[in-house]
Each structure stands twice: as structure tokens, then as C-alpha cells.
């Protein structure tokens, strides 16, 4: 299933990916039948609550699964060629050069005992095998690219000498040092102030344009989706439950979970009246509810038997670019039209 | 750099008069760092903050990391001693209480922290955690247990869960346990320091709704600290904006969000993305330059002048003699660079701001449209 059948600009193509992790308490599937396409020069947002599988999807692709984790089925293609993320050497080549990643706990990712310039230069040397001096030049150039003033001087700073926003810029510099085709930014602004958040998002958006990258933003902030993403995939319990153009998904959602997310979030620009919290909690992967895994919390299930019996498959609804995994999506769409 | 003298502001944004459950008067905290036993630089974490809180009122507190929000709440709780200023709770000066009186006071003002996991003892059963603030009361253990059970039930948890340990709960449930603990002593004021920041949106909404219900039920007053402007808008009656230890704007919620007067507030509001693509893609943004300044060496004049768009706009209309040229070549009014603006109100609308050139409604409309 794709939102757009034209594949000519698809750089990274994830098809029906299913990942399993063996834990002491049983086998879990944090990524379950996930298909996503990253397109050149475009921004894809992946949203969903904690534990929904956003990070695991890209960790699977990059061969960075935790112990006990494997890809059970599905294919990953980079620039049309199938790749095997479980092949350690291939995965290492892919990381950084083809796909850059800014990890979720980014600030922990910097080594406190090396200067930031050294750390970026190491990435460059490791992949491109250039001289120390060349790598250092590239590091300085990249620090400038991510908007760090006086990069030549700052390259000799240690992480603790920089502010949180500056450190996040350094992490981004590591992610783009090799000028990858795809940049995955996993919650790039979660721990930052709104003002710095805005600066970082503008930076990522600018880099996407400048370097012609495909940008993936993993986030839980629907405002970020609205402002920066062309396309969005909403995940729940390891599955993509709604996928489409950002505008469509946010304005004319055809999945009850997305609808519930929107209704439970206050807004900075308007009074929303009373919030409608989603009852209960996200699913426990060791005991995923039967049928639609959202059914115990869904305000539209109304005890309908198919909801707790059959897993709804992701399918397209008109407009064709919008995909939903809900048995009652037509009903939702109709209600919206009649309103 | 010229050493600046701060003129004490006699007038302050008080609204509740004798009714006030809490009143903070010119509260100041300068942390003095000692090197080799000798004081060196002072971190001006909180400077000359005054406000009060009406019964049942929620005051939102926003500002960037390091602006002094947590220090202010620790001062109010008297977990740290102020450099100067007073905290008055129900008419009593907290800064002068004896140990015994302090214990009583602790029952009136309670706190809920951001990370419910860090604030609950992992080896303690939930019942014991929730009963903790009751330790010094004369209640029997049966009565304490009854209160624990009632409070937990009010939070949507089950009695039986009182016997479990914190790790057996989800984040949202742990936050409710934190709130239950704070409420077991029926306080008047609850300080909420980023109470929902660690929670997912769906769980966040559950906790916010609970907080609103509790406020109405017990006529509690809240001070809600959050970096999330949506959350603050949703729950607050009044909002206070801090920058580098000072209050720069304070107004009823609606006023502050629709007609901010301080350029910093306008910049914050403009930075928060809105979950509506049609609004987002047409909206102009104020780009806030750089990071917040270091509170150990605050800039002279208005602490915001190196990042302020309004100062640049105003300077365009001023002659060279009235302008200061900054290191990066930008021009700002000399007053902004040299004179600290005082928190004032220009009308009787309870809308206070500390800016030499406050924004007009029209100006806000043009910069954020
Ligand atoms: N090492 C592990 N062993 C077993 N399960 C794991 C492991 N790491 C992650 N998981 C599970 O995989 C699921 C998906 O995790 P993932 O990190 O992808 O979530 P996420 O959507 O990125 O959430 P967040 O917003 O919190 O980052 C979670 O339910 C998590 O509990
Ligand atoms: N015990 C201390 N000693 C020295 N400096 C301190 C101390 N506590 C806080 N500070 C400093 O005081 C300033 C205000 O800190 P505070 O924790 O109050 O900020 P905050 O607004 O709560 O920030 P955040 O949003 O990051 O929680 C910061 O510069 C901080 O480094
Ligand atoms: S399939 Fe049923 S339970 Fe699932 S989202 Fe649709 S209506 Fe709700
Ligand atoms: S006093 Fe000047 S620098 Fe400060 S906020 Fe107002 S206009 Fe900006
Ligand atoms: Mg994640
Ligand atoms: Mg704080």
C-alpha cells in the first residue's frame, strides 16, 4: 500500500516490515506490517504515542535492533536496490552515508571527552577514509552548515561548553556530515524550549531543501506535522493506522485514533473547550488486544463485533492518497461530508 | 558595563487583596558560586518577583529553560532561602516561620513534580508514599489508610493498588499517585512543575482533566509551570512570563495569548506550531535569535535586547544618537540597551508588562499574521 503510486522519487522504500523481539516474557512485534516511502526532497512525519514503534521501524531498517530483535519479514529498498539490514557490513555502510540518523536521546549521544569537531571528523574519516586534516575541514564546514557561528573556533569546544540547542545542532551535523540521501530525525526537539525547537525545525527544513534530502521526522507534536510535513503516517501498537497527505490526515482524518489524538490535545492558538482524553492506555505488546488493537479505547467501536474480531488492514479510501486501517472509516468520512 | 541599580517596584500585579491564598513580594534569589571558598559570580536566578494568587485560581508560568521557574517554586515551598523578599501564605510570612509552623505550612502548599518516577520512592508501597505528607499529623493509622484509599479512588485508581510499588504503574498512573500524595493533606495551593511533560498526549489529557476537576471540587489554587504553551492556555486563568529571572509580562490568559505586549511573549507564541496546516503555512514567524543569556552575567538594560525584534523595528525610526549598535551590527534603541524596564500596567486591565516599547494590538497582528 502506498500513498502515491509514483515511485520515481522514492529513495527509501520500506515494504511490509515486521520485526520481532524475543524478551524473557515472550515474543513481541514492535513493528508489524509497516510500509513507508521516503521521497527525495520531501518530509515524512511519523507520529504516535510512546511505544507505538516509531523508532523501532527505523532501527530495524538501519540494523540497530536491540538484542533478541530480528526482522521477521518484509523488504527494504534503497534507491531501488534491495538491502538486507541484518547484514552487519551492509547496514554499517548504509548508516551515515545513505541514511543519516539523529537519535532520540541525542544529547546523550555525544562523547563528553572529545571536542565536537573531532567527533564529526571521526564520522567522516570512518566512512570516507580521507586524511585527518580533510576530515576536520569537512567537520568545520558541516558545523557552519547547521548554523553554528564561528565553526572553526567552536569545533574545538567540548559538548558541555555548548547550550542544549547548540548540542542538538552538533548532533544534526553528525547526521548530515556525509550528506546522506535520507535524514531520520527521531524526536529532534522534544527536550528543547519552543524557541529553540523552532530554530532546529527551521534548520532541518532548510537542510532538506539545500541538500535535496528526504527528511523523516519522528514526533508526537501534531503542530510540527502541520508545519513541516507533506506526508504523515500515524502509528499505533506497531502498525500504521492512518497514512496520507498531512493536510488530509489533520483536517479530514479517517481513523478514530487520529481523531482522538486531535481531540485530546490543547492548542496554543485557540481555546478548545473541554478535552476528550482517550481512556485507558496504549497496548501492551505482550498482550495485544484482539482484532483492532485500538478497540478497547475507541469511541467509535461501540461494541461492534468486527472491531474486536478482525484486524483491519490498511486500505485506501477516496481520495486515494489517504490510507486507513479502520473497519468503519467510510462511516467517518460520510459523517464529515454531511457536517 | 555599568552596574545597574534596580528601583524597587512598589506597585505590583496583585489582584486578590486580602483574599489571596499566596502572595509573593519582591522575591529574589541569587546563587553565589564559591570557588576556593570565595564567592565569585552570582547567578541571578530570580529577581524581584511579585504576584499573588486568588482562591481557585490557576496561574500559568512560562519561560525558557533556566529562566528561574523551578527556583521560584522552591522559594515558595521554602526548600531554599530567598536572598530577599517575602512569601505570604494565607496572611502568614513563610520566610519567618519556625520549624513547627513550617510543618503546618507544608500542609497548605504542596508540590507535584515533572517526573513522577523520580519523586516516588521505588521501594515504598504506594500507600506509604501517598500517606507521607500525613506523617506528622495526629491521625490514627486507620484514618490515614482511609484517606489514602479515598484519595486514590478520587484519582481513578483502585484501593487494592495501594499495596503495589511505583514500577507496577504506567507513567500517567504514577503522576496521579504524585497528585494523590499532594492532596492527602488537603492543601490550598498546588505547585505543578511540568506535571504532564513526561506523558503522552492521551494520558496528558486525562491528567489535565483530573486537575481541573479537583480544582473546582476543592477550590484549589494552582501554579502551573510548563514549557507547553497549549497546556498553559488550556488550564490557566492568568499567565506570567519570565525571562532571565524576571517577570516580563503578566495578564489574564485571553489577553496574553491574543494581545501580548512584551516582544518576548509574542516571540514565544509565534514559535509554538499549531496543528492546522492551513494556519501554519500562511503564518509569518518571528525568528527569535540566539540562546537565552547567561544569568550569571545578564546583559545590561533590558535582558532581552539582543534578541528583540521590536527593538530593531523601533530603532529604525530613531536618530544615531538614540541608538546603540550591538556587536553583531544590529541597532537597538539606547534605552533598551541601558535601562532596565520596570513591570507596569498602562490601564486597569490587570495586564502588566516590562518593556520600553510594548506592542500594540495592531503591531501583534502584523508581526504574527
Ligand atoms: N529491547 C527491547 N526489548 C523488548 N521490547 C522493546 C525493546 N525496545 C523497545 N521495545 C518495545 O518496542 C516497542 C516500540 O518501541 P519504540 O521505541 O519504537 O517506540 P516509539 O514509538 O519510538 O516510542 P517513543 O515515543 O517513546 O520513543 C515498545 O512497546 C517497546 O516497549
Ligand atoms: N542550586 C543552584 N546553584 C546555582 N545555580 C542554580 C541553582 N539552582 C538553579 N540555578 C541556576 O538558576 C537558573 C534558574 O534555574 P531554574 O532551575 O529555576 O530554571 P527553570 O526555569 O526551572 O528551567 P527549566 O525549564 O530548565 O526547568 C539557572 O541558570 C540555573 O542554572
Ligand atoms: S476498527 Fe473499530 S475499534 Fe478499530 S479504529 Fe475502527 S472503529 Fe475503532
Ligand atoms: S525594552 Fe526594548 S529590548 Fe526590551 S523587550 Fe522592550 S523593545 Fe525589546
Ligand atoms: Mg522513539
Ligand atoms: Mg525547571
**ipTM strictly over 0.85?**
yes
Please check whether residue B25 lies inside any domain of the structure: yes
With CA atoms as reference, the chain B residue closest to A49 would be B200
Global pTM reads 0.90
Residue B46's domain is classified under what CATH number?
A: 3.40.50.300
Domain hosting A305: range is 10-98+180-338
Residue A43's domain is classified under what CATH number?
A: 3.40.50.300
The CA-atom distances, in angstroms, between B319 and each of A285, B315, B334, B340, B368 are 67, 8, 10, 21, 27
SS (H, E, C) A70-128: EEEEEEEEECCEEECCCCHHHHHHHHHHCEEEECCCHHHHCCCCCCHHHHHHHHHHHHH
Please check whether residue A162 lies inside any domain of the structure: no
Rounded to the nearest angstrom, the minimum Cα separation between B87 and chain A is: 29
Please check whether residue B176 lies inside any domain of the structure: no
How open is the CA angle A55-A60-A65, to the nearest 5 degrees? 85
- Grid cell, residue B52, equals 499573588
Please check whether residue A184 lies inside any domain of the structure: yes
The helix/strand count (H/E) of chain A reads as: 12, 12
pLDDT at B24: 96
The CA-atom distances, in angstroms, between B213 and each of A125, A274, B85, B220, B236 are 58, 11, 33, 10, 13
* Per-residue pLDDT tens listing for chain B (369 residues): 333 433 434 478 898 888 999 999 999 999 987 776 666 778 999 999 999 999 999 999 999 888 999 999 999 999 999 999 999 998 889 888 888 888 888 889 999 887 766 778 889 999 999 998 888 778 898 988 999 998 888 888 888 889 999 888 877 788 889 888 888 888 999 999 988 887 888 888 988 998 999 899 999 999 999 988 999 999 999 999 999 999 999 999 999 999 999 999 999 999 999 999 999 888 888 878 777 888 888 899 999 999 999 999 999 999 999 999 999 899 999 999 999 999 998 776 689 999 999 998 776 666 554
CA distance B284 to B3: 38
Please check whether residue A304 lies inside any domain of the structure: yes
Average pLDDT over residues A110-125: 93
Out of A193, A265, A269, closest to residue B65 by CB: A193
CA distance B65 to B245: 11
Give tens-digit pLDDT for B41-80: 789 999 999 999 999 999 999 998 889 999 999 999 999 9
Domain hosting B235: range is 17-108+187-364
Flag if B64 and A221 touch (Cβ within 8 Å).
Answer: no
Dihedral sign of CA atoms B104, B108, B111, B112 in order: positive
Instruction: Kindly write down the DSSP assignment for every residue of A203-255, as one continuous string.
Output: HHHHHHHHHT-EEEEE-S-HHHHHHH-SEEEEEETTEEEEEEEHHHHHHS--S
Please check whether residue A134 lies inside any domain of the structure: no
Q: Which of B63, B306, B309, B336 to mutate to test the pocket of ligand 4 (most atoms within 8 A of CB)?
A: B336
Please check whether residue B83 lies inside any domain of the structure: yes
Give tens-digit pLDDT for A129-140: 899 999 999 999
Domain count, chain A: 1
Please check whether residue B81 lies inside any domain of the structure: yes
Domain count, chain B: 1
Please check whether residue A236 lies inside any domain of the structure: yes
Contact yes or no for A297/A280 (Cβ under 8 A): yes
Please check whether residue B59 lies inside any domain of the structure: yes
Neighbours of A147 (CB within 10 A): 18
Residue matched to cell numbers 540518523:
A101
Out of B201, B231, B274, closest to residue A226 by CB: B274
Please check whether residue B51 lies inside any domain of the structure: yes
Amino acid at each position: 500500500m502506498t500513498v502515491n503510486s509514483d515511485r520515481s522519487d522514492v529513495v527509501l522504500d520500506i515494504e511490509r516490515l515486521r520485526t520481532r523481539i524475543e524478551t524473557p516474557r515472550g515474543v513481541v512485534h514492535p513493528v508489524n506490517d509497516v510500509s513507508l516511502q521516503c521521497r527525495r526532497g520531501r518530509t515524512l512525519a511519523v507520529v504516535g504515542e510512546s511505544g507505538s514503534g516509531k523508532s523501532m521501524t527505523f532501527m530495524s531498517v538501519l540494523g540497530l535492533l536491540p538484542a533478541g530483535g530480528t526482522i521477521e519479514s518484509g523488504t527494504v529498498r534503497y534507491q531501488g536496490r534491495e538491502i538486507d539490514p541484518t547484514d552487519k557490513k551492509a547496514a554499517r555502510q548504509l548508516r551515515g552515508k545513505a541514511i543519516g540518523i539523529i537519535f532520540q536521546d541525542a544529547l546523550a549521544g555525544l562523547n563528553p571527552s572529545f571536542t565536537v569537531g573531532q567527533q564529526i571528523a571521526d564520522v567522516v574519516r570512518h566512512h570516507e577514509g580521507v586524511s585527518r586534516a580533510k576530515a576536520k575541514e569537512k567537520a568545520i564546514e558541516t558545523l557552519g552548515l547547521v548554523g553554528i557561528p564561528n565553526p572553526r573556533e567552536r569545533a574545538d569546544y567540548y559538548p558541555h561548553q555548548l547550550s542544549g540547542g547548540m548540542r542538538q545542532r552538533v548532533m544534526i551535523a553528525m547526521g548530515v556530515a556525509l550528506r546522506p540521501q535520507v535524514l531520520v530525525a527521531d524526536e529532534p526537539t522534544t527536550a528543547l524550549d519552543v524557541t529553540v525547537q523552532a530554530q532546529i525545525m527551521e534548520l532541518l527544513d532548510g537542510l532538506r531543501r539545500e541538500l535535496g534530502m528526504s527528511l523523516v521526522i519522528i514526533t508526537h507534536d501534531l503542530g510540527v506535522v502541520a508545519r513541516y510535513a507533506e506526508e504523515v503516517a500515524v502509528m499505533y501498537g506497531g502498525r500504521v493506522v492512518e497514512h496520507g497527505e498531512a493536510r488530509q490526515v489533520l483536517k479530514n482524518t479517517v481513523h478514530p485514533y487520529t481523531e482522538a489524538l486531535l481531540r485530546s490535545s490543547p492548542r496554543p492558538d485557540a481555546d478548545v473547550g473541554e478535552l476528550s482524553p482517550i481512556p485507558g492506555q496504549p497496548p501492551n505488546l505482550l498482550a495485544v488486544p484482539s482484532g483492532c488493537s485500538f478497540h478497547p479505547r475507541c469511541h467509535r467501536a461501540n461494541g461492534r463485533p468486527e472491531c474486536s474480531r478482525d484486524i483491519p488492514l490498511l486500505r485506501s479510501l477516496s481520495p486515494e492518497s489517504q490510507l486507513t486501517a479502520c473497519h468503519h472509516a467510510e462511516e467517518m468520512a460520510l459523517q464529515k461530508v454531511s457536517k | 558595563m555599568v552596574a545597574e541599580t534596580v528601583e524597587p517596584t512598589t506597585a505590583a500585579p496583585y489582584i486578590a487583596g486580602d483574599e489571596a491564598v499566596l502572595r509573593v513580594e519582591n522575591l529574589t534569589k541569587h546563587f553565589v558560586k564559591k570557588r576556593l571558598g570565595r564567592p565569585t559570580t552570582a547567578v541571578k536566578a530570580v529577581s524581584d518577583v511579585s504576584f499573588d494568587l486568588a482562591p481557585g485560581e490557576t496561574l500559568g508560568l512560562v519561560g525558557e529553560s533556566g529562566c528561574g521557574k523551578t527556583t521560584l517554586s522552591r522559594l515558595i515551598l521554602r526548600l531554599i532561602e530567598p536572598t530577599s523578599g517575602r512569601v505570604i501564605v494565607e496572611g502568614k510570612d513563610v520566610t519567618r516561620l519556625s520549624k513547627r509552623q513550617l510543618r503546618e505550612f507544608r500542609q497548605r502548599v504542596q508540590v507535584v513534580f515533572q517526573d513522577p518516577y523520580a519523586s516516588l520512592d521505588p521501594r515504598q508501597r504506594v500507600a506509604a508514599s501517598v500517606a507521607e505528607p500525613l506523617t506528622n499529623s495526629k491521625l490514627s493509622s486507620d484514618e490515614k489508610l482511609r484517606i489514602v484509599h479515598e484519595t486514590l479512588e478520587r484519582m481513578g485508581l483502585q484501593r487494592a493498588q495501594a499495596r503495589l510499588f511505583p514500577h507496577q504503574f504506567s507513567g500517567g498512573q504514577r503522576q496521579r499517585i504524585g497528585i494523590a500524595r499532594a492532596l492527602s493533606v488537603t492543601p490550598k495551593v498546588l505547585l505543578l512543575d511540568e506535571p504532564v511533560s513526561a506523558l503522552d498526549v492521551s494520558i496528558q489529557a486525562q491528567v489535565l482533566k483530573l486537575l481541573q476537576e479537583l480544582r473546582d471540587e476543592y477550590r484549589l489554587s494552582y501554579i502551573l509551570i510548563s514549557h507547553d504553551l497549549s497546556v498553559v492556555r488550556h488550564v490557566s486563568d492568568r499567565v506570567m512570563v519570565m525571562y532571565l529571572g524576571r517577570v516580563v509580562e503578566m495578564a489574564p490568559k485571553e489577553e496574553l495569548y491574543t494581545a501580548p505586549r512584551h516582544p518576548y511573549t509574542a516571540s514565544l507564541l509565534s514559535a509554538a506550531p499549531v496543528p492546522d496546516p492551513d494556519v501554519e503555512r500562511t503564518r509569518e514567524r518571528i525568528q527569535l535569535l540566539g540562546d537565552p543569556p547567561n544569568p550569571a552575567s545578564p546583559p545590561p538594560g533590558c535582558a532581552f535586547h539582543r534578541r528583540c525584534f521590536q527593538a530593531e523595528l523601533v530603532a529604525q525610526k530613531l536618530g544615531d544618537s538614540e541608538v546603540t549598535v550591538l556587536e553583531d551590527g544590529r541597532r537597538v534603541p539606547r534605552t533598551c540597551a541601558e535601562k532596565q524596564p520596570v513591570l507596569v500596567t498602562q490601564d486597569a486591565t490587570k495586564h502588566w508588562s516590562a518593556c520600553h516599547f510594548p506592542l500594540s494590538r495592531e503591531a501583534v497582528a502584523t508581526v504574527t499574521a
